[in-house]
Structure 1
Amino acid sequence: MKGLSTFKLGFAPGTLLVKLMASFLSVILLLAAFNVFSYLYLRNKLYDEIVRYNELGIKQTVESYENHFRMTQNMILSLTQSDRWIANIGILSNVESNRRYDKMNEVKTDLAELYTNPFLHVENFILYFKQAGYVLEKEGTSSASDMFASYYASDAYPPSYWDGLSTDNYLMRILPAAVFTEESMGNVRSLGLQLPLVIKAAPYEDVYCIVMMDPRKLYSAYANTGEPFYILDPEGRTLFSSHGDTAVRSPSSFEDGKRHEQSGGNYYFYEQGADTGFTYVRVAPIKSITAEMMKLNILLVTLLVVAVLVSIVGAALFSLRLNHPLKRIVAMLERKQELPLPASSIKEFAIIGDRMSSIMDDNEQIRKDLLQKNSLVRQYAYTNKVKNIPMNLHLTELEDAVQLNEPYAAVLYEIGFKNTDSEYEQEIQLLRKLVHGLFSSLGEEPVTLQIEHNQLMSLLFQPGSQSEVLRILHTLKELLGAEDYLCLTIAVSPVYPEDTPVTLAYEQLLQLLKEKRLTGETQIIAEPRSSGNRALPMKVTQREELQARLLSGSEEAVFEWVDRHLEQLAKKDAPAADFQAYARGVAEQVEKALAKLNVPDSSGDAGVKPADPSGFDRFYSAEQYRGWFRERIRPALSAIRARTETKDPITTFVTEYLDGHLGEDINLDLVADKLNITPGYLSSYFKEKTGTNFSDYLNDLRIGRAKELLMNLELRIQDVASAVGYHNVNSFIRMFKRYSGITPGEYRKRNVGGSA
């Protein structure tokens, strides 16, 4: 009787046994019913579903292609209809007469917005000035014959084809894809398969926009199913075919409701574009559809087998859990799981679950609070140890918690922000979490400290080797590469033995940070660089030359000298500290020049502000120093000119004569003879009044005029040299490079650009 009562109690409503058995039977019945229904229903509908899937796929492909062509057309039209574009194209159409070559860079910048857009898949944007006979594209300018015969040559599109091109009857035209090649210096390089798209550059009838698109990328983005695919224009010509060995055939008809037909061993699925009128065709071999049917049959059988296996495994698991219902609670306690126990409709589990969840929540809050406080105390102790700050007498017991009894490595991060509007504290804390997370997988738990307002330091215990630390830092560099507002310099120590003081490691890392270069990118420095590339301090002769140029009040002379020395520092791969020393030296010479002329000091409005060492720490490129010099020096030069700009008949005659006879053979004796004074007196008088030597002033004037003439592409280098008084072209090139830092040819290429 007792056993019977126990049996009846086990099967009473609401007990664990009844609920488990009911759930088990429900799952089995549901799986079995679903599999049987799926098999019976899909067996007859499989073919229709596969056909509908292919029709839907070709429709989506067509929509994607049509949207892409429409978007490309709209973006080009929006560009060509802007007032600035129309004005620039009008100027460039007659560039041989108006000489406005500077507009080429503006148009190239507008074109770059299209071919650099990764979503348009544009390989090049060619602006064809048919009447002028030249083209403008991303590499520069060239004649139309050279462009289409050498740089963008194709048997399908010879130069005569583009010469006879006309867009009278259409706004946009897409031409069949063809292979293009580039021939240069006797070498032929394939440019791959290109899909030309022609749009008239309204309102000019003789200017065309030729867009070279990559049809392979379009196919990969919109139609890459692995099956043959091709596009036909309204005349039935093949614009693109993904598989060259596939027979291309036009659809026999477009009957209502019919978008596919069978021919040979293939199914052809057709769809027509609403905007372009193109016919898009996907070829599906019959054997592939048969294979899809077989795959689905196998899937259905597999589901039945899996359902049976799940039922068997579930029965075994449920049986084991019936004998030990409290094992889940015990296992949960042993694993110290943070989540509360799941709610249950079973009374016994509901009561236990409520009590256990409350206890575990309290324990978890206590644990997190202790971990946070221990972490803060540990960081405080390590920071004091790194900076060698004596520990508070009440906290001396923490000294044992930060004793280094194992090998360690140290990493120091100097953080610079390119954007002055950045929220520094928030960004630094995010970087700290990122660094801590990356190094958590290396050895023991790392310690990451904030040493200064722009410095973090990581202590890595048992890191293995320095190469492992560098590997993780390179991963950090790749992650930060996506964010352009942060400039990080990372100094990495070797793996120190446990008896090495942390203070010594910190000092050595500070020395490594001095190897920072002005790259504008994240730098990882593991060892000192060669001292042979270090820039030397400003020499006495350099200081005197800069003083002379400053006293002349000539911005061009001063900034040419400053820029030339900046370029020398860059060529020597000088560290950022050398740039800072150079900037301080220049600022010092400016202050001396102001003092020599008794110009108001740096506190006045016309003065120059002194160098701010803390400001230099935020500079990450030579361009910033160049801008800093102009901002600081230009007001000082203005004040110097205001002080020395008194009209003097001798200096006025010299400057006006040199400006009017610059192309002649001019020397000091000739000018002195015209003034009826001795050359020595004229030399000393001119330098006293202008602050610069006669020869330096003459060469500065000639080089400045040469720069203006070099902007005219019709003039050869030797013509420019002769026009400014250098009858030996080698002497002109040598003097131009001395005063400008580059050759005349390099100057023309930088400022005019292209290959026109």
Structure 2
Amino acid sequence: MKSRKKTGQNILHYVIASSVVIVFIIAILGGYLFRFYYKKMHEDFYKENSVYIGNIAKMHGNELQILQDISMQIALSDSARFLLDEQPTKSAALKKQLNQYRSVNQFFDVMYCYYQKDQYLFNHMTSISIDLFCDTAYQLENYSPSEVKDLLCAKQKKLLVLPEETIEGELVYFYDVQAKNVIYIYPVAPKYDTILIFFIGADHYDDLFADEQENTRSTWLVYDGNIVTRRGANEIEDDLLISELGGETGQKQVKIQGKNYLLTQEIDEAGFSYVALQPMNVFTDQLRTHLWGIGVLIILCCVPTFLLIGILSSRVLGGVKNINRMLSSEGEETYDLGKIEVGIRQLVNSSEDMKQDQMSLRKSRFIRSFLQSKYTALEILRRDAADARINISYGFQMVGVIGSSASGNEEKIFEQILEFIQNQENLDGYGIHLVNTNQRVMVLFGESEENLYQAYDKILRIGRVHCDEFVVAVSWAHRSLLNGSLAYLEANTAYDSRFLVDSSQIIRFTEIGQNSSVSNYQNLRSRYMVQLENTIRVGNEQEVEKAIHDLCKKLEEEHATLLTFRLLYDEVLRFLMDQWNGDEKDWNQVYNVFTLSRCLTMEDFTSLLTEACHMILDTKTDVKNHQSELVVKAMEIMQKTYSDPDLNMASLADQLGISPVTLAVEFKNETGISPSDYLAVVRLERAKELLRTTDQLVKQVSEAVGYEDDHVFIRRFKKYTGKTPGQYRKESQQ
């Protein structure tokens, strides 16, 4: 009883000491949380302002780039440097060019082009004399007509920006120019005798400076020491702000009119300064709110912690009694540390066995995935190899296929092989068992080709000790870690030739006469893979089957080796995997490098490839139902009007009511191919059909599919199919 009482007191003392430590930890945690929240919120406050200004600078910089691009195009075309009275016909071309800029622009409301040696300004519709432009067409709030004329006639090499002001005049409402505008006067290099005048409405800057914190933050656009425009709530005079600005991008705290602010400034290459000013009390208010939360959190942690300590203490005392009873055969409450140690050792040994089994499973999974080339990124491959504790950094990798007649001794042989690999300093690897072929597949990683051949030679000798029929066939020594399936196909091809060569030595893929297969495969891939890929993207089942037929026919004509069409099938299936949108389990039934190794005839190859392509076309039909209405409509227009030679991305975007950039981005994101490439595929697939089914001349076929120049058509057709239209027609009719 005394022993039990003393033990209970010791535990109670431990509980009290633990409680004090926990309270101390909670206090430290509270201080840490305060510092953490303060630092984090301070960083977030600065970062949010920096990101806000950075986004504005980026968007405005892109818009300025548009103006610069227009200026460069005007300079290159030299379409503006003429006198209207002497060359009136050039005005139509200039107005057409200006109209193109205006139609695709979302930045400026209207633009004018002025050749300073003439007396007329041009926009997208008409021309106007400079006197009429300054006196009645546009009347600026802060500039007189004579001042405006002087600005327009002055020869300058630098962008001139007139700050936001009210504009009135006869053409303001005619061209739907907003009441308030910022005017950009852009000189055209290199002669600087032509200027471009852009009117940017106030609504554009409302959108550009749109801010969820507009009630507490003000934003300025500054150029050449002058305020171009501003938005926000603070009533701070412009001169006070200008005096605080520096010459570099950055953030700092400033004090203006007795109040602390965070000033964020970013300067772009064009000399524009983007400035945001937000009171520091916004940060302190946010911090105060979170401090209340920290205090409540500490209280909520302390109260249940003591309750939990009390509950756990009672359970610990009860657990100690129960352990004593279990350890004592007579149920006595004694402490037998020997029994506890034995029990713990048993648990540790059981855990070690489990870890070894788990590690073997990880190694097997990694090797299987490696051989099936499921890794598309080296980072993921290296991560999984590290998890499986396989060193793949030696520089070379070689796959070996092992077959034996050692019934009952396979595991013993495999254990000795693994022990041999583990004892090597510059070698690592693992193997898996293929039940359906009764083969072992080993993957070794070594520092040289000779090192790997020596290792497999040792493996052969280990196997020969236990059985007479032990065959080892190996692939090339590959440097790329993403060629697992290729290396397996090479090793398996070498293994298939075991009855034709001396199998008492290592069967090397390099020695079985397959060296020409790779180059033969590259030639077939470059000529026929593009055709098959494009027909699958378009989704034409008939053309897909025709492309498969052409590919198989060429394989027969070339007397392709077993390895060649295995490699080609593996390449085709990699492309199809990118197009696949169905269940991964269904796909694995078709694409499996171990199933591919049993592909022995052209009929096997054709059957597997056709099945995979049909699965892709079925899933593409399902995916098409989920594509955006914009992409579907664009496809329908191209499929219906492909014969129109004027159909291009600009006209297609006009029909859809969007910009060409928006069309290109959304179409590429949805389909994986650009709209212009899609249109080219539609036209060329239709041309193939006309060449096969009609007697039309090549020029007629060219015009029928939207190509006005038959030379361009012939060049693109040959690039697409590898044949001229005449050659294609002749071969299809044979």
Q: Is the TM-score greater than 0.5?
A: no
Which of the pair has the greater relative contact order for Cα pairs under 8 Å at 6+ separation? 1
Normalised TM-score (structure 2):
0.40
Normalised TM-score (structure 1):
0.39
